[in-house]
Amino acid sequence: MSADATVVAVRGLRVGYGSVVVLADIELTVTAGEIIAVTGVNGVGKSTLLTCLAGLHRPAAGTMSVLGGAPRDDPAFWRAVALVADQPTWYPGLTVREHLELIRLTHQPLRGWCLPADELIDFFGLAARADASPLDMSSGQRQRLSLAAALARPSRLLLLDEPEQSLDADFRVELAGLLREGYADNGGTVIMATHDADFALAAGAREVRLSDGAIVPDDEDYEDATDEADDADDVDGSDDADPTDEADDVDGSDADPTDEADDVDGSDDEYGTGDAEDADDIQDPGAWTAHAARHTRPRA
């Protein structure tokens, strides 16, 4: 992997809200053309990771490189990065088409992959509402417009916070295809927080799963670690025998009377871990304002 291909590099990232640690020791590298799906339960830190990458939240420790530098709130950064998070503040006097055309106008010259306003309106199913105000549309239609706005101008990195919300299942598949075949295949990088595994799969995304504020290793890595632990047990001479067996042999008693019952009902002696407790969503206080056309951060 060349240095030029690295779009995002996160090392030792630690983020908290007051005394509550949300993310700890996050290590992540994302290259050009990749689509990353950040998954996990509510409150695990998916949105927080995105806001850090967007430069809207300062971490307590660690380093982040986005497109070769630290995330920052300046015109050059926002020409290269598009963010779709919470619903934006739409201009009340502009129609759907006018919003898209304004975004394209403020990002001239348009160097890089993007779609014209009319194509976006057709793809996102907004033709019947093209001359309406976003304030008069449903939540699903506004979500479609937010996504369209992010694709109306060129960018190198697209940050999406649950882009599937308020979208019907069939359109999610279409959106996944556009992100994969349109945006990523033309060199763009997508990092999205999502709860929809089918949507992530359709987009061809690499999953980065968060649990208890940390990235969960891939299953293969986990299995390798488990095998190493088993080998260590073999070396130190430990085995899986019940420590009470020797006592049973001494006092002449038979095997554990529950063994036969276990054999009958098919249960074993392994213990599962309990489900992690869901935490409330932690939202970074508002960042998106009416100068959306300059930043094209339809949600933050």
Domain segments of the chain: what residues? 3-217+291-295
Give residue 4's pLDDT: 59
What pTM did the predictor assign?
0.74
Give residue 260's pLDDT: 42
> Is domain 3-217+291-295 in CATH 3.40.50.300, yes or no?
yes
Give residue 58's pLDDT: 92
Q: If the chain, 300 residues long, is cut into consecutive pieces of 10 residues, what is the mean pLDDT of each piece?
A: 78 94 97 98 96 95 96 93 91 96 95 97 98 96 97 98 96 98 98 98 98 85 47 49 45 45 40 36 34 40
Give residue 218's pLDDT: 81
Give residue 222's pLDDT: 43
DSSP secondary structure string for all residues of the chain: --GGGEEEEEEEEEEEETTEEEEEEEEEEEETT-EEEEE-STTSSHHHHHHHHTTSS--SEEEEEETTB----SHHHHHHEEEE-S-----TT--HHHHHHHHHHHT-S--SS---HHHHHHHTT-GGGTTS-GGGS-HHHHHHHHHHHHTSS--SEEEEESTTTT--HHHHHHHHHIIIIIIGGGT-EEEEE-S-HHHHHHTTPEEEEEETTEEPPPHHHHHHHHHHHHHHHHHTT--S--TTHHHHHHHT--S-THHHHHHHHT--S--PPPPPPPPPP--------STHHHH-----
Give residue 88's pLDDT: 84
